[in-house]
Amino acid sequence: MKFKAGAKSELTFVGSLFALGVLVFWDTWRSELPEINLTISPKLFPYIVSILLMALSTILFIQILRGDLATPEGLEPGDKIEKSDMRTFLVVLASLFAYLLLVERAGFVIANSVTFVGISYSFGNKNLVKASGVAVLLSTIIYFCFTKFLHVPLPSGIFKGLM
């Protein structure tokens, strides 16, 4: 079978939504009800939602097979759809994961600076020294604003005792 360009990846996306529906259905089915008498089971609503999700993704799946492909945001119908730049995508994603991994281990200032520089780089900034300077300055200001003025505690990490 011959697909239009981009149809395969969109089918995968819609297929994963169907899988999400299956997951919700399975999770609801296997869970054990507590021994209380309820007029309406707490399982009813999840069942409805999962069936809705599976049904809708099936319909969209068929529509895509018939050639009704999505128009990405910011484009007009009929515009040429270019492939995403996967390398940049991964740099952004890595910057996000860096935050997750670093924030409690190395502290807020380091995590925030690493993410800032990473995102700045992925948007095409070549001057990483300048970006790092901006990042550290900004992160330090935010850190003190949050901990001192807004009284929202942020992890000091390796600077514990210093800050």
Partner 1 sequence: MSSAHSLLDGFASALTLSNLMFGLLGTFLGTLVGVLPGIGPALAIALLLPITYTVSPSSALIMFAAIYYGAMYGGSTTSILLNTPGESGSVITALEGNKMARNGRAGAALATAAIGSFVAGTIATLILAFTAPTIADWAIQVGSAEYVALMLVAFSTVSSLLGSSQIRGFLSLAVGLVLGLVGADLQSGLSRLTFGNDAALEGIETVTVIVSIFALGEALYIASRFKETGWKIIPMKGRALMTRDDWKRSWKPWLRGTAIGFPLGIIPAGGSEVPTFLSYSVEKSLSKNKGEFGKGAIEGVAGPEAANNANAAGALVPLLALGLPTSATAAVILVAFQTYQIQPGPLLFTTNPDLIWTLIASLFIGNTLLLILNLPLVRFWVQLLKIPRTYLFAGIVSFAMLGAYALNTSTFDLSVAIAIGIVGFLFRRYGVPITPLILGLILGPNLELQFRRALQISAGDYGTLIASPLSKALYLTLFLVIVAPNAIKLVNKLKAKSKK
Per CB under 8 A, the list member of 153, 160, 161, 162 interacting with partner 1 is 153
Chain positions 12 to 41 lying near partner 1, rule: CB under 8 A, are 13-14, 17, 20-21, 23-24, 27-28, 31, 33-34, 36, 38-40
Q: Are 154 and 109 in contact (CB under 8 A)?
A: no
Site for partner 1 in 92-131 (CB under 8 A): 92-93, 95-97, 99-100, 103-104, 108, 112, 115-125, 131
The DSSP output letter for 27 is: H
What is the token pair recorded at 39?
Answer: 């007029």
Nearer CB in complex with partner 1: 138/163: 138
- Cβ-contact 163, 108 below 8 angstroms: no
- Which CB atom, from 1 or from 16, has the smaller least distance to partner 1? 16
Residues 6+ apart with CB under 8 A from 33: 41, 42, 43
User: Minimal distance in Å, beta carbon 55 to partner 1?
Assistant: 9
Could you tell me how many residues of this chain bind partner 1 (CB under 8 A)?
79
Site string for partner 1, 55-74 (x = CB under 8 A): -xx-xx--x----x-xxxxx
3-state secondary structure labels for all residues of 125-163: CCCHHHHHHHHHHHHHHHHHHHHHHCCCCCCCHHHCCCC
